[in-house]
């Protein structure tokens, strides 16, 4: 669980996860193009995300594709949020998104 928090602590890594959420199954090349980072920097971040199990990879022919894996975040949610609180929290999160008028985090 510490690896998940460490991985999520970095805004560049959160942006990589956002990119995969928008379109799953991207290559390193595609991920590097979408971000203002060198391919080496993206590789370094992807290793940390993979170690935290937030990103999984699969080979498709000669291409290594990266997929968002939200399962560790689900485990965190299961640990601290009971089933009774879940729907209420979702409503509050929806309200916040609605009032702030955006879908993505700004930072």
Partner 1 sequence: MSAEKFVYVIYIRTTPEKLWEALTSPALAQSYWCGCRIESVWEAGSPWRLMIPDGRVGDAGVIVEIDKPRRLVLRWRNEFIPEMRAEGVSRCTWELEPAGDMVKLTITHESDKTGSKLIQSVSTGWPVILSSLKSLLETGDALEATKQWPKGV
Shortest separation between residue 97's beta carbon and partner 1, angstroms = 17
Shortest separation between residue 69's beta carbon and partner 1, angstroms = 5
Shortest separation between residue 74's beta carbon and partner 1, angstroms = 4
In contact, 27 and 53? CB cutoff 8 Å: no
Q: Of 78 and 104, which has the nearer Cβ to partner 1? A: 78
Q: Of 5 and 67, which has the nearer Cβ to partner 1? A: 67
Shortest separation between residue 56's beta carbon and partner 1, angstroms = 5
- Of 74, 65, 76, nearest to 25 by C-alpha is 65
Sites of contact with partner 1 (CB under 8 A): 24-25, 53, 56-58, 60, 67-71, 73-75, 78, 82-83, 86
Q: Of 36 and 103, which has the nearer Cβ to partner 1? A: 103
Q: How far apart are CA 12 and CA 84, in angstroms?
A: 33
55-80 burial string, b = 16+ CB within 10 Å, else e?
beeeeeeeeebbebbeebbeeeeeee
């Amino acid at each position: 669980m510490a690896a998940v928090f460490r991985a999520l602590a970095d805004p560049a890594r959160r942006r990589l996860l956002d990119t995969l959420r928008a379109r799953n199954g991207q290559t390193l090349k595609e991920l590097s193009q979408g971000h203002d980072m060198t391919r080496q920097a993206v590789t370094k971040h992807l290793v940390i995300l993979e170690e935290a199990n937030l990103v999984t990879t699969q080979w498709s022919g000669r291409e290594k594709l990266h997929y968002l894996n939200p399962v560790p975040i689900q485990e965190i949610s299961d640990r601290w949020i009971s089933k009774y609180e879940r729907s209420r929290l979702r409503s509050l999160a929806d309200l916040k998104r609605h009032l702030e008028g955006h879908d993505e985090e700004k930072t």
